[in-house]
Amino acid sequence: MSLRKRIIINAGSNWASMLVAAVVGLVLVRIILRDLDAAGYGVWALLATGLRYPMILERAFVLAINRFVAFYRSDIKELNRFVSASFIILTALAILTVAAMTLLSFVISDIFSAITPEFERDARIACILVGITLAFKMLEASFSGTLQGCQYYTRYNGVVITANLLRAVLTIGLLVFWKSIIAVQLAFGITAAVSALLMFIVARRSIADLRVNARLINKETLRELWRYTSHSFARSGSSIFMYSTMALLVGWAGTAAHVTVFDIASRIPGFVRGFLAATQVVFLPAVSDLWAKGRIEAIKAVIKKGTRISSVLACALLLLLFIFTEKILALWLKGAVPEGTVWVMRVLIISVLPGGLFEIWLPALVGIGHLRGLTIASIAAALIAILMELILLRGFVTVPMAPAIALVVVLWAKTGLWLPLYGLHKLGIRPYEYLKDSLYQPLAASIVSIAIIWVLNSVLLKGTVHWLVMLVLATLIVTASFTVISLRKETVDLIVTVRKRFRSEQEYKI
């Protein structure tokens, strides 16, 4: 299979997985909010979102194993060494996570003002269940990273889709009989256990001779694994640390209602961020493979292509979300939109845009081994964002708006400016060449789309057309603009391919 076709298939399976996750997540948020009310939802969101720190380890090992498996996929002995080492280390860390969360549960209500006395008991039990959920996710990391490194994205995403559907069924079912934050987190914990088991089974059946054996591990394996994992820990972990700490600060400085506003406003931008990341991460094994073969020019072409694809998706999605934020929230939550959610969500949408435009450089630079600069920048960005939120929480803006503004400033500075400049310097690509080949067309399509939508809304259709009709028209306008301006070549190639296939079928029938 060609590199281009493999990337398209892998990205497509990631998109399908993210779409299912988005639909399930949006449905569950509305159901949980309805059954637990704003206060209960806020307490659950504080625990489930704010206590994700152990996921730093999970994310770091997934990235490290992804990279090593892609590099050693033809050497099953070395591949098994790294998988075995990561699984045994993560098992020990998972046990420590459950123990730490159990200890934290005794003091959790004393730390956060959002946890009122009526939720104290449920919060303690839910805190322990969060630890168990995170432990199973950590156990899953070795095998999910292995499948991604071997580019079995369709099989990996099959497990993810199954787990998301199971979580929806369990959550809705348990809430019918038990309207409690404990029921919600119990459903998430059971799903995490099933997902870990399925990921292990699929990995064993997909990769011949894959096995976990402690006797395979040696000092060199641990040294190499720790080298890449430590960078991944600091780099990707900084992002999790930043988002989790920001959520916790909202619960520390505000009420459960404030946590609810920030969590709901974060959901859709978060899904878009994950959707874009799922598109971008498929380039990591491809870049690693090209780097191992010394094909630098091919890497440059992949990055330019990836930037254009990611930019088209980011600009089109975020443009529509920003314009129709209020209407989408009202439809999603059946009109029960907490006060202040609309503007917090719009600010968070702006913070996602630089990731869509430039975060393709992250897996690309990881694939070629430029880790130190990425690590330092990620740590600095996380610390600055948290410090800025603390300053804004001193009465400058509302509690839920403080983290949103901090994210806009930090992510545009780091991802929107520093990251592309650093990547261009490391690969020797001229900024003008990169802008012309990768970003000029998506940005031009965005400007054209905004202009046409503004004319339709303010001159022709204002006050006369239902917003859903306007949303459909805007979607058609955005799709047409980006197809004609940004994806013209790809569209022409697709049409030519379809015509050739049709003609060959007609000739065969004759």
- Residue 282 sits at φ, ψ, to 5 deg, of -65, -15
Q: How far apart are alpha carbons 287 and 419 in whole angstroms?
A: 17
Question: Is 315 a residue whose pLDDT tops 70?
Answer: yes
Cα 85 to chain centroid distance, Å, stands at: 26
Question: Is 6 a residue whose pLDDT tops 70?
Answer: no
Position with higher pLDDT, 16 vs 344 = 344
Instruction: Provide the pLDDT confidence category of residue 187 given band limits of 50, 70 and 90.
Output: very high
Q: What is the mean pLDDT of the chain?
A: 81
User: How confident is the model at residue 108, as a pLDDT?
Assistant: 85
E strand segments, 388-482: none
CB-CB contact of 393 with 399 (8 Å):
yes
User: How confident is the model at residue 2, as a pLDDT?
Assistant: 53
Pick from 455, 350, 470: nearest CA to 407: 350
- Counting Cα atoms < 13 Å in the Cβ hemisphere of 371 gives 17
Q: How far apart are alpha carbons 211 and 115 in whole angstroms?
A: 44
* Tokens at 177, concatenated: 């009989």
Pick the most confident of 28-32, 128-132, 360-364.
Answer: 128-132
Q: How far apart are alpha carbons 35 and 426 in whole angstroms?
A: 52
- Residue 333 sits at φ, ψ, to 5 deg, of -100, 15
pLDDT > 90 in the chain, percent: 18
CB atoms closer than 10 angstroms to residue 424: 18
Per-residue b/e over 357-394, b at no fewer than 16 CB within 10 Å? bbbbbbbbbbbbebbebbbebbbebbebbbebbbebbe
Instruction: Provide the pLDDT confidence category of residue 406 given band limits of 50, 70 and 90.
Output: very high
Question: Is 403 a residue whose pLDDT tops 90?
Answer: yes
Question: Is 228 a residue whose pLDDT tops 90?
Answer: no
Position with higher pLDDT, 201 vs 215 = 201
> What does the pLDDT average to over 275-297?
74
pLDDT in tens, 469-490: 777 888 888 888 877 777 666 5
Question: Taking every pair of C-alpha atoms in the chain, what is the biggest distance, in angstroms?
Answer: 80
pLDDT in tens, 447-467: 888 888 888 777 665 556 677
Instruction: Provide the pLDDT confidence category of residue 231 given band limits of 50, 70 and 90.
Output: low
Tell me if residue 324 falls in helix, strand or coil: coil
Which helix (H) or strand (E) segment holds residue 501: the answer is helix 488-509
- Residue 212 sits at φ, ψ, to 5 deg, of -105, 120
pLDDT in tens, 374-387: 878 888 999 999 99
